[in-house]
């Protein structure tokens, strides 16, 4: 039996899936939660964090990596692990020494918040993102004209300005996924997926140039010395080091693939091999991915990068910053006074929400519980809900949040389709935690008017990572050389179809019009009330 290992480093935990290279069968999956989770209030030593911060502990990643690979060996039980693929949240970045040592793991930096891993949803660099955007640099043409506070440049500039000694001490600034590949192979190998989507790297121009960085801070051009050229996704980064072979029981030299952004790994995981199908990874946030043969400007997208998923295609990425997160906020709110399990509350809300009609009892909301990613790329925005009455029920609020996020997705589709040359979106293929809610899925089908296929597998990204692991091995190493062959053998097979109900879709035309009006008013220049509101609070 030949197995490929897919490792998926998410926001709260890491997961392993072992996929049979020939049959696509899952030999096993294992999940390992991060002991420190997301650090939002304080460092492990108690150092307090300001609002909007979100850090992680790189030791959690290493512990997960070791545990999951040992489990892989145990479960393979003598079968061959031909290759390892690895996906990770992004832009989740950390400062490291030249030898790869994370600064925060050195005693002299352990009490410095900027020495730690800044998780993708660290939103404290909005000011820096605003200043980059205010310069209107040409490289942003491929990124919806805006960089995000979540991305590498804003986060690095925040570090330089708030903790220059950490910035100076960092020999390299690196994505967590690339750092993990470095750990496994002993070599720094970066991914075109991470570099392209989160650090504005493009094949023609490389990273944003020194002259531009100098305009933000005189020392900022040295960021270029802390980066490095990326390699295409689906290629081999290197072989497993002796040290990691020792730690895990794997043989030395097992091929390790170049890292990939977690959401993007869903493409091969879901078996999507070309344009026309929007891939949606719906977890705490939603990532929308679309392949196309054309590269054109699209308003408000997160980016478009060539060959970052499959050779020969541009991959467009858009996103919504809070989907599952917004629903979890509501469940957490409702659980405040009780002591029941969140799972049971979700079930009850889904059940009651399914009995409601479009418009959720006269509520409409804009879905900015964590700011807006696409199309406004603005973390200062917050959600607005209209239509509350003394008769409003918890299930109505829940459904209105679902509907708001579905309207956000419809808006993303319309933005893509407004881009000349991009092939029409005829279907949606969905994975991630939210895809397990039938009411959520049906609302998305009804709001968008498109048939939606929800993957049966709860770990499409990890499976996609395994596909990349098989490609890193190559046919000589027991894997594959051709991506289409790997996809045909190893992609997920089971899907549940949700077809739009014409009457509900018609009704949602009205709801969507109200959503768009609120979106325009509060987000597109109608008023700056939300900005003033946020300023009042901070």
Both tokens assigned to 233: 């996704």
Is residue 28 part of the contact set for a second copy (CB under 8 A)? no
If one asks whether residue 506 binds a second copy (CB under 8 A), the answer comes out as: no
Among 20, 130, 162, 517, binds a second copy (CB under 8 A): 517
Contact with a second copy (CB under 8 A) among 79, 186, 221, 361:
361
How far is the first Cα of the chain from the last one, in angstroms, to the nearest whole number?
Answer: 57
* Torsion sign over Cα 112, 117, 120, 121: negative
Q: Is 420 in the site for a second copy (CB under 8 A)?
A: no
Burial code of 103-142, b = ≥16 C-beta within 10 A, e = fewer? bbbeeebeebbbbbbbbbbbbbbbebbbbbbeeebebbeb
The verdict on 433 binding a second copy (CB under 8 A) reads no
Q: Is 322 in the site for a second copy (CB under 8 A)?
A: yes
Closest CA to 373 of 515, 198, 205: 198
Residue closer to a second copy (CB basis): 245 or 504: 504
**367, 401 in Cβ contact below 8 A?**
yes
Long-range contacts of 211-215, Cβ-Cβ distance < 8 Å, separation of 24 or more: 212/135, 212/137, 212/139, 215/135
Q: Which span (90-98, 134-142, 302-310, 338-346) binds a second copy, by CB under 8 A?
A: 338-346
- Site map for a second copy, 365-394, x if CB under 8 A? ----xx-----------xxxxxxxxxxxxx
Q: Which of 137, 303, 359, 408 binds a second copy (CB under 8 A)?
A: 359
527 is an interface residue for a second copy by CB under 8 A = yes
Of 326, 412, 443, 455, the one binding a second copy by CB under 8 A: 326
* Binding segment toward a second copy, per CB under 8 A, in 72-80, 254-262, 361-369, 418-426: 361-369
The residue (of 63 and 335) whose beta carbon lies closer to a second copy is 335
Considering only the stretches 27-35, 237-245, 269-277, 323-331, report the one whose residues sit in contact with a second copy under the rule CB under 8 A: 323-331
Instruction: Rule CB under 8 A: say whether 518 interacts with a second copy.
Output: yes
Return the structure tokens found at 315.
């991959």
- Segment contacting a second copy (CB under 8 A): 129-137, 319-327, 409-417, 478-486? 319-327
Q: Is 522 in the site for a second copy (CB under 8 A)?
A: yes
**Contact between 530 and a second copy (CB under 8 A)?**
yes
Using CA atoms, how far apart are residues 205 and 139, in angstroms rounded to an integer?
9
Distances (CA, A) of 143 to 89, 275, 404, 477: 19, 19, 24, 38
Separation of alpha carbons 290 and 416, rounded Å: 9
Alpha-carbon distance of 10 to 16, in angstroms, equals 11
Number of residues in contact with a second copy under rule CB under 8 A: 54
Residue closer to a second copy by CB (options 222, 392) is 392
Cα angle 360, 280, 344 (rounded to 5 degrees) comes to: 50
CA atoms of 225 and 167, how far apart (whole Å): 12
Residue ranges binding a second copy (CB under 8 A)? 51, 322, 325-326, 328-329, 333-340, 345, 348, 359, 361-364, 369-370, 382-394, 397, 507, 510-511, 514, 517-518, 521-522, 527, 529-530, 532-534, 536-538
């Amino acid at each position: 039996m030949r197995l490929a290992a897919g490792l998926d480093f998410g926001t709260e935990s890491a997961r392993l899936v072992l996929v049979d290279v020939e049959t696509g069968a899952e030999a096993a999956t294992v999940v390992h939660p991060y002991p420190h989770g997301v650090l939002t209030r304080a460092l492990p030593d108690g150092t307090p964090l300001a609002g909007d911060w979100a850090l992680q502990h790189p030791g959690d990643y290493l512990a997960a990596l070791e545990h999951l690979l040992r489990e892989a060996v145990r479960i393979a039980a003598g079968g061959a692990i031909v290759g390892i693929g690895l996906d990770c949240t992004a832009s989740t970045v950390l400062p490291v020494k030249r030898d790869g040592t994370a600064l925060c793991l050195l005693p002299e930096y352990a009490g410095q918040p900027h020495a730690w891993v800044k998780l993708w949803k660290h939103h404290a660099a909005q000011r820096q993102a605003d200043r980059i955007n205010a310069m209107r640099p040409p490289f942003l043409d491929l990124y919806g004209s805006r960089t995000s506070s979540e991305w590498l440049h804003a986060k690095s500039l925040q570090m330089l300005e708030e903790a220059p000694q950490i910035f100076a001490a960092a020999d390299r600034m690196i994505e967590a996924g690339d750092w993990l590949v470095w750990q496994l192979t002993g070599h720094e190998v970066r991914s075109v997926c991470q570099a392209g989507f989160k650090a504005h790297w493009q094949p023609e121009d490389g990273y944003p140039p020194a002259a531009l960085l100098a305009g933000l801070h005189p020392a900022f051009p040295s960021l270029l010395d802390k980066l490095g050229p990326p390699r295409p996704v689906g290629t081999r980064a290197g072989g497993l080091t002796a040290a990691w072979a020792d730690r895990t029981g794997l043989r030395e030299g097992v091929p390790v693939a170049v890292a990939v952004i977690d959401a993007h790994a869903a493409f091969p995981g879901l078996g999507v091999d070309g344009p026309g199908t929007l891939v949606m990874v719906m977890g705490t946030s939603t990532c929308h991915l679309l392949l196309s043969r054309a590269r054109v400007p699209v308003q408000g997208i997160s980016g478009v990068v060539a060959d970052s998923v499959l050779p020969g295609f541009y991959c467009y990425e858009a996103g919504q910053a809070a989907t599952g997160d917004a629903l979890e906020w509501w469940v957490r709110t409702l659980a405040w006074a009780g002591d029941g399990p969140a799972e049971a509350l979700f079930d009850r809300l889904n059940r009651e929400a399914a009995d409601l009609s479009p418009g959720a009892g006269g509520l409409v909301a804009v879905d900015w519980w964590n700011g807006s990613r696409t199309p406004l790329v603005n973390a200062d925005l917050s959600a607005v809900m209209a239509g509350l009455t003394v008769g409003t029920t918890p299930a109505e609020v829940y459904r209105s949040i679902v509907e708001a996020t579905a309207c956000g997705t419809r808006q993303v589709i319309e933005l893509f389709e407004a881009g000349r040359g991009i092939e029409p979106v005829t279907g949606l293929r969905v994975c991630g935690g939210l895809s397990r809610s039938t009411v959520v899925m049906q609302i998305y089908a009804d709001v968008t008017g498109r048939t939606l296929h929800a993957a049966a597998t709860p770990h499409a990204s990890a499976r996609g990572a395994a596909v990349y692991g098989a490609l890193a091995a190559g046919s000589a190493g027991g894997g594959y050389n051709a991506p289409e062959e790997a996809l045909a053998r190893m992609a997920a097979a089971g899907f549940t179809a949700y077809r739009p109900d014409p009457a509900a879709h018609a009704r949602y035309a009205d709801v969507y019009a109200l959503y768009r009006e609120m979106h325009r008013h509060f987000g597109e220049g109608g008023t700056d009330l939300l900005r003033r509101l946020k300023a009042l609070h901070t």
